[in-house]
């Protein structure tokens, strides 16, 4: 499954295009199936519908756990590093993880969870989060992990959308110096939940906080597993049975519950993990993401465990107790593959270099980034200081919807190059297209990025909204549209230039502008608002809100805080705006559409080149907004 030379890459790539079914069939044969598939691929772009390994039956956790017990039973599966370096780490061998997962799977069953039920997981980065995910998969329940930084409202929306039956949470969590209450947020969420679908809440005690336990609904984790067996027969799943739902922001409306299914996701996460990180048996792999995002699903839990790897889970933040924490952990466990976000690198490079130099990073063989474009300066710093000038960087491009890494370099096979993510993995057929949806051939080329052939881990739908799935991703012909713009150079390398829709990537988090504007607009003093992104040194992009008020405001600073407080409460702190400018109007077309292109330029500090604004309904407003720009 592992590509070692460029010749192999070229050969495999060709094979994957000429005979995709043969290519994927061979890879799929390396897994444990309860029943082999009948058809490798059936698809219809128009419907749209994609079926991989139809007729095949399996359980993904047998492939993550049972399959490794003979050879790797005593090998560390998960190494958990706590927030506080003074607290002891927890190491779970494959055998221990197998038992914990089985035990909790039985506990879920005892609470009435059945195959197909949705389970919401709102947990901090503790081993129980990975155990919960796998326990759901063991019994065929569909997990919906919600990042534990989301507010009660956001949590309620997600619980309601998927009509979850059970919520798994903790009393609280530690992040740096802070102790966060999670159970209280769940309580609020369930109070405002409109469906009332949640029957049980299982609560892990992580921080010893006082929490309210509702009789009949809330159960402590330790009671839930008391007297439960640590062997659990894995449910038989069809390859296309949903494995999980994970919410991601769209440019409009409520978050999209992206659906991933079992067989194809399993194969693609393993295949991409092994190739992109060139993982060798015995290596220690660390991805710093949170399991609340797709990166954590695919490359902390599923990919590494499917590949029989040792995967590190880190509870804390990069700057606690100081900004050398990442490097201290790399030294402590002799990490071989390190995978993080550009925003973390940009934040850490601002600190004295002694915080890096204090640690031995010589174990590193591959260092990676994900989530947003990595700017050249950060790339060069990463390579020089973390990679000792020689360790290959993988700048991996992918999305919640793609399930796994699609465009990247491969260490020692395809060379890294700053600002270019790289080439498609074999099996992935990217294309660029222009405004009339026509494919752009050759190079240099610049256009919208799409994938023109199905791949096993592609999203199969949006929970409860097939129409939106179709509209968002399949409106430009027989291809999957990514929402990103990209360039292609003479080496056939792709450079991702950013979103072409109203999604803004802030610190690697995908934020849709419309839901944040909706929150701002509910403030009694606000008439209308428009949010755009502008370049930010650490975050990559930050949010700039232009807000029209009813009348004058006495204390703009207080209003700024109030609006951001409301955003934090209703959505979560990551969606707060760095700048809020109060304006008398917004530039609009004659049909009433806000000209975001102009606002983006203003927010980025440009003073000219606004194009033809004479056709605007209110061209004079542009000057006025520039004059009072923040």
* Contacting positions for ligand PRX (CB under 6 A): 248, 294-295, 370-373, 395-400, 421, 482-484, 496, 499, 505, 510
* Least CB distance to ligand PRX at residue 476 (A): 15
Phi and psi dihedrals of 26, rounded to 5? -65, -45
* Least CB distance to ligand PRX at residue 514 (A): 16
Of the pair 397, 534, the CB lying nearest ligand PRX is at 397
Q: How far apart are CA 116 and CA 156, in angstroms?
A: 20
Distances (CA, A) of 531 to 391, 504, 514, 578: 39, 9, 8, 11
Q: How far apart are CA 452 and CA 402, in angstroms?
A: 13
Joined together, the tokens standing for residue 403 give: 């399930």
Of the pair 308, 368, the CB lying nearest ligand PRX is at 368
* Least CB distance to ligand PRX at residue 504 (A): 10
N-term to C-term CA, the chain: 53
For the CA atoms of 565, 178, 333, 412, the dihedral, rounded to the nearest 10 degrees, stands at 10
Of the pair 82, 512, the CB lying nearest ligand PRX is at 512
Of the pair 274, 394, the CB lying nearest ligand PRX is at 394
Of the pair 316, 373, the CB lying nearest ligand PRX is at 373
Phi and psi dihedrals of 571, rounded to 5? -115, -55
- Nearest 5°: the CA angle 4, 9, 10 is 145
- With b meaning 16 or more CB within 10 Å and e meaning fewer, what string describes 333-369? bebbbbbbbbbbbbbbbeeeeebbeebebeebbbbbb
Of the pair 483, 587, the CB lying nearest ligand PRX is at 483
* Least CB distance to ligand PRX at residue 505 (A): 5
* Least CB distance to ligand PRX at residue 342 (A): 8
Q: How far apart are CA 94 and CA 76, in angstroms?
A: 6
Of the pair 270, 581, the CB lying nearest ligand PRX is at 270
For the CA atoms of 288, 292, 293, 296, the dihedral, rounded to the nearest 10 degrees, stands at 40
Phi and psi dihedrals of 69, rounded to 5? -60, -40
* Least CB distance to ligand PRX at residue 305 (A): 18
* Least CB distance to ligand PRX at residue 195 (A): 26
Q: How far apart are CA 358 and CA 343, in angstroms?
A: 22
Of the pair 422, 587, the CB lying nearest ligand PRX is at 422
Distances (CA, A) of 41 to 38, 244, 327, 454, 480: 9, 21, 44, 9, 16
Of the pair 92, 347, the CB lying nearest ligand PRX is at 347
* Least CB distance to ligand PRX at residue 248 (A): 5
Of the pair 316, 403, the CB lying nearest ligand PRX is at 403
* Least CB distance to ligand PRX at residue 441 (A): 23
Q: How far apart are CA 565 and CA 181, in angstroms?
A: 17
Q: How far apart are CA 50 and CA 42, in angstroms?
A: 6
Q: How far apart are CA 412 and CA 4, in angstroms?
A: 8
Q: How far apart are CA 3 and CA 371, in angstroms?
A: 24
* Least CB distance to ligand PRX at residue 143 (A): 17
């Amino acid at each position: 499954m592992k590509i070692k030379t460029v010749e192999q890459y070229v050969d495999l790539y060709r094979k994957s295009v000429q005979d995709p079914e043969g290519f994927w069939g061979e890879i799929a044969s390396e897994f444990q199936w309860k029943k082999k598939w009948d058809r490798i691929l059936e698809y219809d772009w128009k419907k749209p519908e994609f079926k991989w390994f139809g007729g095949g039956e399996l359980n993904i956790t047998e492939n993550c756990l049972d399959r490794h017990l003979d050879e790797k039973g005593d090998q560390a599966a998960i190494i958990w590093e706590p927030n506080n370096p003074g607290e002891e780490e927890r190491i779970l061998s494959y055998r221990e993880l197998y038992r914990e997962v089985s035990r909790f799977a039985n506990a879920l069953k005892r609470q009435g969870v059945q195959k197909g039920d949705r389970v919401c997981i709102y947990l901090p980065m503790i081993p129980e989060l990975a155990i919960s995910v796998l326990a759901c998969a063991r019994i065929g329940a569909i997990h919906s992990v919600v990042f534990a930084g989301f507010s009660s409202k956001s949590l309620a929306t997600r619980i309601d959308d998927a009509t979850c039956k059970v919520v798994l949470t903790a009393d609280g969590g530690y992040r740096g110096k802070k102790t966060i209450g999670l159970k209280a947020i769940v309580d609020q969420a369930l109070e405002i939940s409109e469906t009332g679908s949640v029957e049980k809440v299982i609560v892990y005690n992580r921080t010893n906080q006082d929490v309210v336990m509702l009789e009949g609904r809330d159960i402590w984790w330790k009671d839930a597993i008391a007297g439960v067996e640590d062997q659990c027969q894995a449910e038989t799943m069809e390859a296309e049975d949903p494995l999980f739902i994970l919410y991601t922001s769209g440019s409009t409306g409520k978050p999209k519950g992206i659906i991933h299914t079992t067989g194809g996701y399993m194969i693609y996460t393993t295949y991409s993990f092994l190739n992109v990180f060139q993982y060798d048996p015995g290596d220690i792999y660390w991805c710093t993401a949170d399991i609340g995002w797709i990166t954590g699903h695919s490359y902390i839990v599923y990919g590494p465990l499917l590949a029989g790897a040792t995967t590190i889970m880190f509870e804390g933040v990069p700057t606690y107790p100081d900004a050398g924490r990442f490097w201290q952990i790399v030294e402590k466990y002799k990490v071989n593959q390190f995978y993080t976000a550009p925003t973390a690198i940009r934040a850490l490079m601002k600190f004295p270099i002694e915080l890096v130099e204090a640690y031995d990073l010589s174990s590193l063989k591959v260092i990676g980034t994900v989530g947003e474009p990595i700017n050249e300066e950060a790339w060069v710093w990463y390579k020089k200081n973390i990679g000792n000038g020689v360790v290959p960087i993988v700048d991996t491009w992918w999305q919640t919807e793609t399930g796994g890494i699609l465009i990247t370099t491969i260490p020692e096979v395809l060379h890294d190059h700053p600002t270019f993510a790289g080439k498609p993995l074999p099996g992935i057929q990217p294309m660029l297209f222009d405004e009339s949806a026509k494919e752009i051939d050759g190079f240099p080329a610049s256009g919208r990025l799409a994938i023109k052939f199905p791949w096993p881990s592609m999203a199969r739908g949006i929970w409860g909204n097939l129409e939106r799935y179709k509209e968002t991703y399949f409106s430009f012909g027989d291809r999957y549209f990514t929402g990103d713009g990209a360039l292609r150079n003479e080496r056939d390398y792709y450079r991702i230039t950013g979103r072409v829709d109203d999604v803004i990537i802030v610190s690697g988090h995908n934020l849709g502008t419309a839901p944040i504007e909706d929150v701002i607009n509910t403030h009694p003093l606000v008439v209308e608002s428009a949010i755009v992104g502008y370049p930010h040194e650490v975050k990559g992009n930050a949010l700039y809100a232009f807000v029209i008020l009813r009348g004058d405001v006495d204390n703009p600073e207080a209003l700024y805080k109030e609006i951001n407080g409301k955003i934090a409460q209703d959505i979560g702190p990551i969606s707060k705006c760095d700048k809020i400018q109060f304006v008398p109007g917004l530039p609009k077309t004659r049909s009433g559409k806000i000209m975001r292109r102009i606002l983006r330029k203003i927010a980025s500090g440009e003073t000219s080149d606004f194009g033809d604004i004479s056709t605007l309904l209110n061209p004079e407003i542009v000057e006025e907004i520039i004059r009072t720009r923040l």
